[in-house]
Amino acid sequence: MVKVIIVGAAGRMGRQLVADALRDKELDLVGGVVEPGMSEVGMDLGILGGQQPIGITATDDLESVIDKADAIIEFTAPEATVEHVGVAALHKKAAVVGTTGLGSAQIAKLREAAEVTPVLLAPNMSVGVNVLLKALPLIARALDESYDIEIVEAHHRMKKDAPSGTALKLAEVIAQALQKDLDEVGSYGRKGIAPRSTGEIGIHAVRAGGIVGDHTVIFANEAEQIEVVHRAFSRQNFALGALRAAKFVAKQKPGFYSMADVLNL
């Protein structure tokens, strides 16, 4: 059993992680950390995860519980993440970080921590998306210039940024595989007289209703079409990846890891 603490346990991802960790027979949920001053401090973790009480309450002090764990799973905000990974490193505990928007100085701090403890950083924990990041370059390299490449992503109406970070990452690995610069070949949306040029990678964003996250990559020439589609049904998609990452990272030597290491890609 790998003993884990969910940090950010009151957040959207945190609650999903608590729920899925409680269902996972290879994991033992030994603690949950919430932001100081939040009403969830002292709340039973089972309740936070939408289940029966488990007799372990949420704390706002990682230091007070860290020694019970093998690994922390961190989905909060950049500044808090750096602080929490620092605590994990001090106690030689592994850390899985899902928080996005970390600046380069903050990533450097995580790398510093990784010198003494295993740290895994993955801006997208979805197993499926990480497999796609590996598979798409293979497809792109095998096809010739007659195949046009277009990426269409769809998300819920509340999403602020467009295109999604994942769509950009998918485009980037394809561009790299073709030895092209995405800044030069990326074409974002079309309007009016906008004919396609050879070699461009079209990227389009749909915003509608409650769509959790769809990504479609199209390779098409005049004779055939390949479509690679990934659909996230819920946040569980990310939570299950993060739990798998925790089981992996708890058994590693100090170092800086990614989902590609977890999935042996």
CB of 163 to ligand NAD, least distance (A): 15
Segment near ligand NAD (CB under 6 A), from 85-93, 117-125, 145-153, 169-177? 117-125
CB of 207 to ligand NAD, least distance (A): 17
Q: Is 77 in the site for ligand NAD (CB under 6 A)?
A: yes
Residue placing its CB nearer to ligand NAD in the complex, 201 or 215 = 215
Residue placing its CB nearer to ligand NAD in the complex, 46 or 241 = 241
Q: Is 33 in the site for ligand NAD (CB under 6 A)?
A: yes
Indicate the burial class of 207 (C-beta count within 10 angstroms; 0-12, 13-18, 19 or more). middle
- Three-class SS state of 71: strand
User: Which residue in the set 38, 47, 139, 182 belongs to the binding site for ligand NAD (CB under 6 A)?
Assistant: 38
Q: Is 10 in the site for ligand NAD (CB under 6 A)?
A: yes
Answer for the pair 91, 241: CB distance below 8 angstroms, yes or no: no
* 247 has catalytic annotation: no
Residue in 84, 93, 109, 155 annotated catalytic: 155
User: Which residue in the set 2, 4, 8, 114 belongs to the binding site for ligand NAD (CB under 6 A)?
Assistant: 8
User: Which residue in the set 59, 75, 96, 117 belongs to the binding site for ligand NAD (CB under 6 A)?
Assistant: 75
- Three-class SS state of 45: helix
Segment near ligand NAD (CB under 6 A), from 41-49, 106-114, 116-124, 135-143? 116-124
- In sequence order, the 6+-apart residues with CB closer than 8 A to the CB of 53 are 44, 46, 47
Q: Is 98 in the site for ligand NAD (CB under 6 A)?
A: yes
- Three-class SS state of 24: coil
Residue placing its CB nearer to ligand NAD in the complex, 122 or 217 = 122
Segment near ligand NAD (CB under 6 A), from 87-95, 120-128, 132-140, 225-233? 120-128
Establish whether the linkage from the previous residue to 78 is cis, with ω within 30° of 0. Answer: no
* DSSP string computed for 123-167: S---HHHHHHHHHHHHHHHHS-TTSEEEEEEEE-TT--SSS-HHH
In the numeric block, which tokens belong to residue 58? Answer: 């949420």
* Residues 24, 28: Cα–Cα separation, whole Å: 8
Q: Where are the extended beta strands (E) located within the chain?
A: 2-7, 27-33, 71-74, 94-97, 118-121, 148-155, 186-188, 201-207, 214-220, 225-231, 255-257
In the numeric block, which tokens belong to residue 201? Answer: 């990678």
* 160 has catalytic annotation: no
Answer for the pair 79, 69: CB distance below 8 angstroms, yes or no: no
Q: Is 76 in the site for ligand NAD (CB under 6 A)?
A: yes
Q: Which residue's C-beta sits nearest to ligand NAD?
A: 11
Catalytic residues: 155, 159
Write out the residues near ligand NAD by the rule CB under 6 A: 7-8, 10-14, 33-35, 38, 75-77, 80, 98-101, 122-125, 238
